[in-house]
Amino acid sequence: MAVMKKTLIINGVERMFICDPENDTLADVLRRLGLTGTKVGCRAGQCGICSVLLDGEVTRSCLKKIRAVPYYARVETIEGLGTAQSLHPLQLAWMVQGAVQCGFCTPGFIMSAKGLLDQNQDPTREEVRAWFRKNRNACRCTGYKQIVDAVMDAAKVLRGEKTMADLAFRMPADGRIYGSSIPRPAALGKVMGACDYGDDLAQKTPDVLHLAVVLPGCSHARIKGLDTSEAEKAPGVFKVITARDIRGNNRLALPTAHPRAKADGLEQPIISDQKVVRFGDVLALVAAETPAQARAAAALVQPDLEPLPEYPTALEASAPDALEIHPGVPNLFVTLPVLKGEEARKVLDESAHTVSGSFYSTRQPHLVLEPDTAQAYVDAEGVLTIHCKALALQVTIDAISDGIGFPPDKMRMILNPTGASFGYTMSPETPALVAVAALATGRPVSLTLSYPEHQHFTGKRAASFSNARLGCDAEGKLTGVEYELVYDKGCYTEYGAALAEMGTRFFTLPYYLPNVTGLARSVLSNHAHSTAYRGYGSPQGYTASEQLMDMLAEKSGIDPFEFRYKNVIRPGLTSQNGHGFAVYPMIEILDRMRPRYQALKERAARESTDRKKRGVGIVCGMFNVTGYSGDHAEVALELGPDGAVTHFNTWEDQGQGGDVGTLVLTHEALRPLGIRPDQIKMVMNDTALCPPTGMAASSRSHLMAGLATLDAARKLMDAMRKPDGAFRTHAEMTAENIPTKYVGISDTAAATTPLDLNTGQGDPSIEYTFGAFLAEVEVDLDTGQTRVVAMHTVGDVGVIGNKAVVDGQAYGGMMHTIGFALSENYFDVKKHATLAGAGFPYIDMIPDGDDFTVEYVETPRPAGPHGSSGCAELFQTSGHVAVINAIYHAVGVRVHDLPATPEKVLALLKAKAEGRLAPPPPYFFGEDFYDTIEEIKTNPVSWE
């Protein structure tokens, strides 16, 4: 390699360095110089994460070859903008507006915004949005609105209309931060570019080996051999790691653990050894001295594969002659029933009105901006330490220990600052890969996937197929539903029963159905395996049930909003699982939403033109808070000599707000001590230091960690309390031999009931969240293009602990639902391998300002800490169907299979114009629906 010297003026300072003019980009050089505030995400010019100012111009540094950067060019990066003591207005505005969630996009966005404000200190919101669109600045967390708010605020400071003090967060007069919008503690490091994410850590790890994956290039094959000889001889290669190098059983342990599951959850290898079952399976890892050397050598590995028929969806995999993807495990491996009241077939046959339909939802990709990354090493005490993005730190240890062949009590999991996951890191596969590599090489290792590799390797939301029939009486009261909801699990069974269980809970909720006959099923296919994703398991059901609600409203001659209002559960009525709710605010939510619905309908009628039609869609949604009966969490509080209290937990924060949640819950629980927020220290997400708080899933963290915090605070304050009611100091406690550290526990076992295996009746969750979503769209009759003009939600997540954080989940969730409805997909392994190809929603797809709002009904929750529950997943349950229903309202065509791409809408419009519009035929999975119901009724199962 020929290298050369170059000099640039970086953040005002002359910097000389040596680089590879042929291969280095400006981003590579900056990061090698230690300026890792400049992140790299897509490495393809599609996300703007790497934006810097080059001679004053916003420049995506991942695309800019270093040879094309002039000598002595001026480069401005995030590190040069402000200091912790003297932030730039943009940095402070980002913090206080809640524009920082995971923060991975933040440095690039702020530098892009600086480029704008250097030219124009008084931009309009539209100009800000157009600027970010032009510069491809993408954010997956926020929904963009808070980012535009931050730029507008910073511009006011720069114009002298506001001071930095005006902008800063002010402590409430009563000193209470619970319910305020106090900025996240982690935001400061993120706006300064000082926060090191996984790949940044790898840049700074001594003796590190870089890993590259070998993928098979097909989706179903038998592995006959693997020739690694050329790769082993390649420059810089330390070792090529295959399944033979793994000490353990090479299987991830993700138990399906359900009597109705015909799989044990041990199908997934860490490195594939017998079969390829998806495009993203890993056949080998190459460990080399540089990332480029590892990738070059990985391309030299030669697999010998015997092709097998590929089943890209659950439909093909259900064909009678389909091979078992995992021999011995039926492709249709889980069927769970929900049976309430009379058999729905009979009730529906006698109902005044019925509608039926078949619906498909896509394998939605999470589209995080940070491709998956993890590091591992064995420390001086022989502890295998794994840094990663896991949402379930302790669970990951249990899931990989046997597979890698290392004792769980000698493993330590650490959560890196994380460019978000929205659920996919519930799957433990990346930690397992770096673990086996660290053990096989004896050196620290780091793996950062390219964006295409990330797309192929990581799990996705399960695609779904459903057939359903819904009925009502002559007054529009629902009478019953029958449905079959099939989750396309992809290639591995991971938590397949838990997923199907969601299908037996949220199809048609929050409406009262006296009679329900339903099946939820999980089926394997040769595609990316499904994993957790915000809203887990519910959007698939709502894709069908909230469209059927509109269809039935139309058939009954009732407005869709009023039809829903008539049918939401009233006090004393039960869900399809036969339970009631301690709190049930749907009437208040819909009352709050009604004026907006009317206003949007009037505007849609007014603004429709001959060629651009507007329409409005409304849906309701719900989600559980805690997912299974017997949920358990622990945290610890310790009083320090300085009077500060340290909180220890594993609330896996990936930008959703675990840090500030921990802060406000602790501050509120310790109010009697009168401590200030800065006297609360947090030690989080390191299994060597923190008790098990459980996974960050099922919208459970705030509630479960909050209850455990209350318990720990009670124990600590009881120990500190003197007979006269005053509190002991740390010195007094130690003098009296009173412990200063207490573990708090919360557990839902006594208050919840698992679902009955034969009827689906029961209530495994301690709390719920509720909401309604309203969308206005404009459909271009000439192109089929749908634009979401407005989206609003009214939600009830209990008493709010931090408003900015809940807003972030709400706006971010709605943004994901718009993408899910209109563009996002992971099916075509070429087209959908990139962010743009997979339909990433950029800022121009998302409404803004008064057309994008969230309102709250804050009904205190009896079971939650300080009246709170959880929040994240509500906002990504059913909103996508509001968009689909709005398209129907606008142009009279119903999109049964997501996403509603322009081509699809245009084809439907054409078919309608030609009088040949027909709904899709029912999906068939090899078994008659009522035969299966009968089989379940006559062959009950039990946990024994």
Least separation in angstroms between CB 103 and ligand FES? 5
Binding to ligand FES by residue 301, rule CB under 6 A? no
Residue 223 CA to residue 218 CA, distance in Å, equals 11
Least separation in angstroms between CB 876 and ligand FES? 15
Instruction: Compute the CA torsion angle 145, 372, 390, 628 (nearest 10 deg).
Output: 70
Least separation in angstroms between CB 137 and ligand FES? 9
Binding to ligand FES by residue 141, rule CB under 6 A? yes
Least separation in angstroms between CB 658 and ligand FES? 14
| Beta carbon nearer to ligand FES, 101 or 530 | 101
| Beta carbon nearer to ligand FES, 43 or 880 | 43
Please report, as residue ranges, which positions from 772 to 831 form the binding site for ligand FES (by CB under 6 A).
Answer: none
The count of other CB atoms within 10 Å of the CB of residue 535 is 31
Contact 228, 301 (CB under 8 A): yes
Q: Candidates 30, 40, 296, 523: give the one binding ligand FES (CB under 6 A).
A: 40
Helix, coil or strand: residue 873: helix
In the structure encoding, which two tokens stand for residue 887, read together? 């398209």
In the structure encoding, which two tokens stand for residue 523, read together? 């089926």
Please report, as residue ranges, which positions from 313 to 372 form the binding site for ligand FES (by CB under 6 A).
Answer: 369
Candidate ranges 89-97, 137-145, 399-407, 888-896; the one touching ligand FES (CB under 6 A)? 137-145
Q: What element of type H or E holds 357?
A: strand 353-361
- The active-site residue out of 873, 914, 927, 944 is 873
| Beta carbon nearer to ligand FES, 437 or 805 | 805
Residue 416 CA to residue 413 CA, distance in Å, equals 10
Residue 15 CA to residue 695 CA, distance in Å, equals 45
Least separation in angstroms between CB 105 and ligand FES? 3
Residue 873 CA to residue 810 CA, distance in Å, equals 9
Q: Binding string, 607-646, against ligand FES, x = CB under 6 A?
A: ----------------------------------------
| Beta carbon nearer to ligand FES, 135 or 576 | 135
Candidate ranges 140-148, 291-299, 452-460, 729-737; the one touching ligand FES (CB under 6 A)? 140-148
In the structure encoding, which two tokens stand for residue 590, read together? 């819909």
Please report, as residue ranges, which positions from 854 to 893 form the binding site for ligand FES (by CB under 6 A).
Answer: none
Candidate ranges 41-49, 345-353, 515-523, 860-868; the one touching ligand FES (CB under 6 A)? 41-49
Candidate ranges 72-80, 133-141, 737-745, 884-892; the one touching ligand FES (CB under 6 A)? 133-141
Binding to ligand FES by residue 140, rule CB under 6 A? yes
In the structure encoding, which two tokens stand for residue 302, read together? 């030669």
Helix, coil or strand: residue 28: helix
Q: Candidates 6, 43, 145, 156: give the one binding ligand FES (CB under 6 A).
A: 43
Residue 820 CA to residue 880 CA, distance in Å, equals 6
Binding to ligand FES by residue 50, rule CB under 6 A? yes
Q: Binding string, 55-74, against ligand FES, x = CB under 6 A?
A: -----x-x------------
Residue 471 CA to residue 879 CA, distance in Å, equals 23
Least separation in angstroms between CB 144 and ligand FES? 9
| Beta carbon nearer to ligand FES, 371 or 762 | 371
Binding to ligand FES by residue 443, rule CB under 6 A? no
Least separation in angstroms between CB 145 and ligand FES? 12
Least separation in angstroms between CB 102 and ligand FES? 3
Candidate ranges 135-143, 302-310, 500-508, 678-686; the one touching ligand FES (CB under 6 A)? 135-143
Residue 518 CA to residue 555 CA, distance in Å, equals 23
Residues 54-57: contacts with CB within 8 Å, 24+ apart?
54/26, 56/115, 56/118, 57/115
| Beta carbon nearer to ligand FES, 197 or 511 | 197
Q: Candidates 420, 434, 528, 908: give the one binding ligand FES (CB under 6 A).
A: 420
Candidate ranges 35-43, 69-77, 335-343, 904-912; the one touching ligand FES (CB under 6 A)? 35-43
Least separation in angstroms between CB 286 and ligand FES? 23
Q: Where are the beta strands (DSSP E) in 215-351?
A: 221-227, 237-241, 275-276, 284-288, 302-307, 332-340
Least separation in angstroms between CB 133 and ligand FES? 14
Candidate ranges 42-50, 111-119, 546-554, 904-912; the one touching ligand FES (CB under 6 A)? 42-50
If we measure between CA atoms, which residue out of 550, 148, 216, 113 comes closest to residue 355?
Answer: 550
| Beta carbon nearer to ligand FES, 29 or 509 | 29
Alpha helices in 47-178 (DSSP H): 89-96, 106-119, 125-134, 145-158, 164-167
Binding to ligand FES by residue 46, rule CB under 6 A? yes
Contact 551, 478 (CB under 8 A): no
| Beta carbon nearer to ligand FES, 142 or 515 | 142
Beta pairing, strands 4-10 & 74-76: parallel
| Beta carbon nearer to ligand FES, 504 or 876 | 876
Calculate Rg over the CA atoms of the chain: 27
Candidate ranges 39-47, 156-164, 167-175, 499-507; the one touching ligand FES (CB under 6 A)? 39-47
| Beta carbon nearer to ligand FES, 209 or 420 | 420
DSSP 44: S
Residue 530 CA to residue 527 CA, distance in Å, equals 9
Least separation in angstroms between CB 333 and ligand FES? 35
% helix, strand, coil for the chain, step of 5: 35, 25, 45
| Beta carbon nearer to ligand FES, 388 or 645 | 388
- To 10 degrees, what angle do helices 538-556 and 560-567 make? 110
| Beta carbon nearer to ligand FES, 60 or 275 | 60
Binding to ligand FES by residue 47, rule CB under 6 A? yes
Residue 168 CA to residue 92 CA, distance in Å, equals 7
If we measure between CA atoms, which residue out of 762, 747, 663, 656 comes closest to residue 699?
Answer: 656
Using alpha carbons, list the distances in angstroms from residue 847 to 615, 793, 812, 834, 887.
15, 13, 12, 24, 16
Please report, as residue ranges, which positions from 653 to 682 form the binding site for ligand FES (by CB under 6 A).
Answer: 655
Candidate ranges 138-146, 178-186, 385-393, 408-416; the one touching ligand FES (CB under 6 A)? 138-146
Least separation in angstroms between CB 140 and ligand FES? 4
Least separation in angstroms between CB 534 and ligand FES? 13
CA angle, residues 125, 128, 133, in degrees to nearest 5 = 125
Residues in CB range of 137: below 8 A, 6 or more apart: 47, 48, 51, 105, 108, 109, 112, 843
Total number of residues that touch ligand FES (CB under 6 A)? 24
Give the DSSP letter string of 880-939: HHHHHHHHHHHHS----BS---HHHHHHHHHHHHTT---PPPPP--SS-HHHHHHHHHHS
| Beta carbon nearer to ligand FES, 49 or 684 | 49
Q: What size, in residues, is the chain? A: 944
Q: Binding string, 81-110, against ligand FES, x = CB under 6 A?
A: --------------------xxxxx-----
* 501 given a catalytic annotation: no
Active site residues: 873
Given the rule CB under 6 A, which residues bind ligand FES?
Answer: 40-43, 45-50, 60, 62, 101-105, 139-142, 369, 420, 655
